[in-house]
Amino acid sequence: MPLPRRPKAARSRTAPPAPARSRRAHAPREHLEEFRRRRASANERVHAADHLGIKRFLALDHQAYLDGALSGKTKEMLGLVASLVLRCNDCVDYHLVQCVRAGYTDAEIHDGLNVALVVGGSIVIPHLRHAFETLATLREAGEFSL
């Protein structure tokens, strides 16, 4: 016996809602400049707190990306992949700058982003788009400073 069908919803004669505006309605380059400004300002506040635990964590974070058994370059790619899986666009931007600065090609970065997509699944796709947009902006700008 077939299941009963749900009645079709009445069609609305009103216009469909406008698509939600992106949090990043301005140009990608402006986004990177704003990211750099916000990061610098926030870092000043964090450092001004002069909190021992925070200073220790930031030192640990810095040391984690130095050359060791893995090169600093490899660790930056790992940071990018983890950032995409964790869906942190600010982190993605930071690690993309570091990966470009370290000399990764677009093909290498795309491979790393693919790993992140496989690990993170479809929920990562909006952040993958963000990463591709940021990478294109970095390549066009030709500057990689934070």
pLDDT in tens, the chain (146 residues): 555 565 555 544 544 444 444 444 446 778 888 888 999 999 999 999 999 999 999 999 999 999 999 999 999 999 999 999 999 999 999 999 999 999 999 999 999 999 999 999 999 999 999 999 999 999 988 865 55
DSSP 54-96: HHHHHHHHHHHTSSSSS-HHHHHHHHHHHHHHTT-HHHHHHHH
Residues in the chain: 146
Which structural domains are found in the chain, ordered by start? 28-141 (1.20.1290.10)
pLDDT given at position 20: 44
139 in Cβ contact with 131 (< 8 Å): no
> Closest by alpha carbon to 121, among 80, 87, 89, 88?
87
